[in-house]
């Protein structure tokens, strides 16, 4: 990861495909070019049969301080509509493999919304979360009013979105916005460790389990349960199910192959 001009930096570590946001001068503000490169790289990892998990990280100072305000300041309603900047976010939403987020520092506006597109979130104790769009005369536009409300509940989401206040990492984990909080020196190594643990599981089971959890946000309970059962039965068509269960019976570690 060495190219100073690249908007994102990439590398792989075993079956983990790593992406780091790289606009340090503007606290990783998300402009359309960066988002389009990010979506393309996530899709590339999603298609790569050697990658089981995607790890998305910012820097220690900033995960991302939001959509790029300079890029939006002089846009009109029509130009915003025509350029359809959230189409790239839809592509990120469609990624099937688990996405782990390593979050430290500022995680605001579109940054917080990007984090909420991820599946397992490892946050540094210094991370600060918020949807401060209200301070600049707008409101969240990449899912904040919907996903933050599902994560925090109505009263907390209204507080954060209407007052523009920031949540600490302790508040975020308490309210279920992030998965774990760790000391700031370890936020990236912990997220990589968690990614490696997840990548040691069967990749098809991982994808279907993610699909099942996300379905819970889209359906009534009875429909979600029915959907889950079908995903569960489908896994009995995989070699990994046979390997996983036989390995347990034979008291050995399973070797999953993603088949
Ligand atoms: N867009 C563009 N540039 C940004 C930015 C953003 N979202 N956030 C920070 N920057 C830039 C600053 O302009 C500054 O650039 P210069 O050095 O050229 O002046 C640089 O990053 C460092 O920022 P600060 O000097 O402001 O750093 P700070 O430590 O004093 O404050 C901060 C940090 C509280 C995060 C502050 O930068 C801030 O409030 N940023 C904006 C946060 C925000 O409003 N985010 C929402 C954006 S709108 C959105 O995201 C819409 C959506 O739903 C998709």
List the beta bridge partners of residue 105: 62
Q: How far is the CA of 182 from the centre of ligand 1 (A)?
A: 25
Identify the pLDDT of residue 4. 64
Q: Which residues face 124 on adjacent strands?
A: 182
Q: Which pTM was predicted? A: 0.96
Within 8 A by CB and 6+ apart from 52, the residues are: 15, 16, 97, 98, 198, 199, 201, 203, 206, 258
C-alpha closest to that of 68 among 127, 25, 101, 39: 25
The residue whose two tokens read 């001068």 is: 25
Q: Nearest 5°: phi and psi at 33?
A: -65, -45
Task: Please give the distance, rounded to the nearest whole angstrom, from the Cα atom of residue 138 to the centre of ligand 1.
Answer: 15
How many whole angstroms from 172 Cα to the centroid of ligand 1? 21
Report, as ranges of residue numbers, the positions in the chain whose pLDDT lies below 70.
Answer: 1-4
The whole-angstrom separation of Cα 234 and Cα 241 is: 10
Catalytic residue among 110, 111, 144, 202: 110
Question: Do residues 151 and 116 lie in contact, with contact meaning Cβ atoms separated by under 8 Å?
Answer: yes
Residue whose CA lies nearest to ligand 1 atom number 10: 26
- C-alpha 29 to ligand 1 mean position (Å): 7
Q: Find out whether the beta carbon of 240 lies less than 6 Å from any atom of ligand 1.
A: no
Tokens of 225: 């349960």
Q: Is 113 a catalytic residue?
A: yes
* Pocket-testing residue among 21, 22, 23, 26, ligand 1, by greatest number of atoms within 8 A of Cβ: 26
Q: How far apart are CA 249 and CA 232, in angstroms?
A: 20
Question: What pLDDT shows up at residue 5?
Answer: 79
Task: Return the pLDDT at 85.
Answer: 86
Residue 67 known to be catalytic:
yes
Buried b (16+ CB within 10 A) or exposed e, 103-134: bbbbbbbbbbbbbbbbbbbbbbbbbbbbbbbb
| CA contacts within 13 A on the Cβ side of 223 | 7
> Which stretches of the chain are DSSP H helices?
32-47, 69-72, 77-83, 87-93, 110-117, 144-152, 154-163, 169-174, 187-199, 203-215, 221-234, 239-249
Asked about 237 being catalytic, the answer comes back as no
Determine the angle formed by the axes of helices 110-117 and 144-152, rounding to 10 degrees: 60
136 Cβ inside 6 Å of ligand 1: yes
Query: What distances in angstroms separate CA 61 from CA 36, 56, 153, 203, one per listed residue?
Result: 23, 15, 28, 32
Q: State whether residue 160 is helix, strand or coil.
A: helix
Nearest protein CA to atom 41 of ligand 1, as residue: 65
């Amino acid at each position: 990861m060495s190219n100073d001009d690249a908007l994102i930096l990439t590398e792989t570590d075993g079956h983990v495909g790593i992406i780091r946001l790289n606009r340090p001068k503007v606290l990783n503000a998300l402009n359309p070019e960066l988002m389009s490169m990010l979506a393309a790289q996530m899709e590339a990892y999603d298609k790569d049969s050697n990658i089981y998990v995607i790890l998305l990280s910012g820097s220690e100072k900033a995960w991302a301080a939001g959509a790029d305000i300079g890029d939006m300041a002089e846009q009109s309603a029509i130009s915003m509509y025509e350029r359809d900047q959230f189409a790239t976010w839809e592509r990120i939403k469609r990624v099937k493999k688990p996405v782990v987020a390593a979050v430290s520092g500022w995680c605001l506006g579109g940054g917080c919304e990007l984090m909420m597109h991820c599946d397992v979130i490892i946050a540094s104790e210094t991370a600060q979360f918020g949807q401060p769009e209200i301070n600049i005369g707008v409101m969240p536009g990449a899912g904040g009013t919907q996903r933050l409300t599902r994560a925090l509940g109505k009263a907390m989401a209204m507080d954060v979105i209407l007052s523009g206040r920031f949540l600490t990492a302790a508040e975020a984990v308490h309210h279920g916005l992030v998965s774990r909080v760790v000391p700031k020196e370890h936020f990236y190594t912990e997220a990589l460790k968690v990614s490696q643990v997840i990548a040691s599981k069967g990749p098809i089971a991982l994808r279907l389990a993610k699909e099942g959890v996300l379905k819970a946000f889209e359906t009534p309970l009875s429909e979600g349960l029915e959907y889950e059962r079908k995903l569960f039965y489908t896994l009995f068509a995989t070699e990994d199910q046979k390997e996983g269960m036989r390995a347990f019976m034979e008291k050995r570690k399973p070797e999953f192959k993603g088949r």
